[in-house]
Amino acid sequence: MGLFTLPTVALFILLTLSLTFVHGGIPTTLDGPFKPVTVPLDKSFRGNAVDLPETDPRVQRIVKGFEPEQISVSLSGTHDSVWISWITGEFQIGDNIEPLDPKTVSGVVIYGRYGFPMTNRSTGNNSLVYNQLYQFEGLQNYTSGIIHHVRLAGLIPNTLYQYQCGDPSIPAMSRVSYFKTMPVSGPKSYPSRVAVVGDLGLTYNTTSTVDHLLANRPDLLLLVGDVSYADLYLTNGTGSDCYSCSFPHTPIQETYQPRWDYWGRYMQPLVSKVPIMVVEGDHDIEQQAGNQTFVSYSSRFAFPSEESGSSSTLFYSFNAGGIHFIMLGAYTAYNKSADQYMWLEKDLANFDRNVTPWLVATWHPPWYSTYVAHYREAECMRVEMEDILYKYGVDIVFNGHVHTYERSNRVYNYTLDPCGPVYITVGDGGNREKMAIAHADEPGNCPEPCTTPDKLMGGFCAFNFTSGPAAGKFCWDQQPEYSAYRESSFGHGILEVKNETHALWSWHRNQDLYGDAGDQIFIVRQPDSCPVTANVTQNN
């Protein structure tokens, strides 16, 4: 006999075929770190980054009276509960507005498992109206319709439900819609597809992105900041793709709040069926009278803040099967003495890696981006938070803000590290601002350090590098080694977690066929090689 027995040979062949089938020739992070790749700009496709007008039938109000509109589903902390949100009544904008009384319309959801009578009923006490008010003469104020958030509890995992929402006493109820609950949290239990998109807005490019996204049949939608871009408009409805260029002398950055309503109407066919989880971006700040911020963002979406122990809608966590998602806020205090950081420490210390092996973090502005736009803008946040994310073994980080696509090699503290996260920027959803094209490492493109701090984030931490290929410099002289792939194009991504160690990431460009991927890789966890107690080094 030779070295192998027949059963051993058969087992070897079966294992080889199995690995070939699983990977299908797609590279894995174990094959890296990869040499940096820059895909040349496709000048033939620039899309149509023009906002949908209010006359577009997809954004017009088609309901009557207090019938529900802008219906959406979002997840609670675990699989057995979800939030149903909707709006009843019309918004008002102008000088003399009279807010609706939330107590005048009930928020009721009637629901049941698909194929069975809808005998369950949940009534919420979270109805509200929000205002966007300005103290400056000539600016128009806004008051919303009545926003309802109703939590459904005691749900069965991985199950299709049907529901109607509204006020049956009027009667004013929605049509029947459907959602599917997340699978139970466990190491072998995952949602099939998680769609990830950032900086969406409401342009004709947005519609292309959403059409492509729908074709990929997601179970969950992750929106990594910058939702409606209502703040690119004056309160009279005049808009621009560069607010500061077109309106440099306004006393406050105005917003045209009806754009939020248009966005909610357009997105309803998707988010009334597919749960949406949102984290705030800079365009969602929307300062108003009394220095209030994030009022529309915090009012229109339901967040599992309380369920995850957070005191704010700006940072929270939730589980989706065996994935633990951490949603962090870049535009609220993130230093080590702040509420957010203390919440993060507690959340990371308490989640069970045996139940949710995958740890995914999300916030809006990227720490690792090689584009001139927003270059090293979030450096102070990285200095404060990178160590703890590395210590607890975050697997993947999703960001937006930079209007392009970029995927990193595994990196920590600007150094290639097999235990560092893979950072993915997907700020290419399709909003009306210009796409990021210029790279900071190209000749003449390196910005002056003093121009990089973001006044919305505070502080200056982006000093010259002290070690590595860019030692003594503010920018690399070539595409940094941590940058594996970058391309300027509109699109979205799909994350498919296969098991405890393998997740397939696919990025889809709007100009391609639905099934094609512009970038694709298996992200592989190595829990034995990268325990969560990994040593943490000091920042440069």
Nearest in space to 314 (alpha carbons), one of 296, 298, 299 = 298
Count CB atoms within 10 A of the CB of residue 477. 12
Distance CA 213, CA 203 (A): 15
Residues making up the chain, counted from first to last:
540
Distance CA 410, CA 392 (A): 15
Distance CA 466, CA 83 (A): 48
Residue 364 annotated to the active site:
no
The neighbouring-strand residues paired with 408 are 483
- Contact at 8 Å (CB) between 178 and 115? no
The residue annotated as part of the active site, out of 212, 364, 374, 508, is: 374
- Contact at 8 Å (CB) between 317 and 308? yes
Distance CA 406, CA 486 (A): 4
Find the Cα–Cα–Cα–Cα dihedral 223, 202, 426, 269, rounded to 10°: 50
For the residues of 187-219, what is the DSSP string, one character each?
TTB--S-EEEE-S--SBHHHHHHHHHHHHT--S
Helix (H, G, I), strand (E, B) or coil at 147: strand
Distance CA 231, CA 255 (A): 4
Distance CA 506, CA 216 (A): 11
Q: Which residues are catalytic?
A: 374
